[in-house]
Amino acid sequence: MIEDYPEAYRELCDRLGFDRGIPFTEKWSAGADFLQILVDQVRERKPQRILECSSGLTTLFMARACQLAGTGRVTSLENGPAFAQATRVALEGYGLEAWAEVLDAPLVETPLGDQCWQWYDLAALEAGAIDMLVIDGPPGFLQPLSRYPALPRLADCLAPGALILLDDAARPDEKAIVARWIAEYPGIERRWRATERGCVELRWPAQRP
């Protein structure tokens, strides 16, 4: 794990007791402001089941937040074996294995309507309602609207009133994705969170749209 990471992360790391480094990578790690939102939401809402598209710092920080809240568990879908293993090592290093798991979820052809995406294989995902969904993958360069499949693929699993958080929401593709979701799922509530990369918070309807 990396001990020399940007100062923006240090206060939150200190507060959460991450004193032996974190699996930070300059290109891929979530921003400190987005991590703060995740930690706050977990500690305030106490979701029982958190599903995350991608893994890394977000997994580690939400797992610690679950531990501090005394409830909840994170399941991360990760298509990169090396990233999955690095996250598992970090979780083990801080004794957080009971609070999070990383599933190997390779990207597979995922047809939706008349289009097809590369998206996570859900074969290893256990059934059950999702109270909080964090979308930080797949990478945007992979394909247009790369993260769009998250709601079509997971809508039937979302608990009433589930919280959905989309990172990198200032990018044009993510803006288009959110607009499409809102058009396709009436009743979703949207809130913009002013982070460095942009974050959109969506609230799933109490009744299925």
Cis bond before residue 111 (omega within 30° of 0): no
Q: Which pair of structure tokens corresponds to residue 90?
A: 């970090």
The domain ranges of the chain are 32-203
Residues 6+ apart with CB under 8 A from 25: 2, 56
The candidate with the shortest Cα–Cα distance to 55, out of 72, 77, 73, is 77
- Alpha carbon distance, N-terminus to C-terminus of the chain: 43
Class of CATH domain 32-203: alpha beta
Percent of the chain's residues with pLDDT above 70? 94
38 three-class SS:
helix
- Burial label for 98, CB within 10 Å (0-12, 13-18, 19+), is exposed
Render pLDDT for 124-147 as a digit per residue (tens, 0 to 9).
999 999 999 999 999 999 999 999
Cα distance between residue 169 and residue 200, in whole Å: 6
What DSSP element (H or E) covers 68?
helix 57-69
What's the CA angle centered on 150, arms 146 and 151, to 5 degrees? 130
Cα distance between residue 128 and residue 1, in whole Å: 32
Q: Tokens 């074969």 belong to which residue?
A: 123
Query: Average pLDDT in the 18-41 region?
Result: 83
What amino acid is encoded at 203 in this protein? R
Whole-structure pTM value: 0.94
User: Is a pLDDT exceeding 60 seen at residue 2?
Assistant: no
Query: Average pLDDT in the 47-56 region?
Result: 97
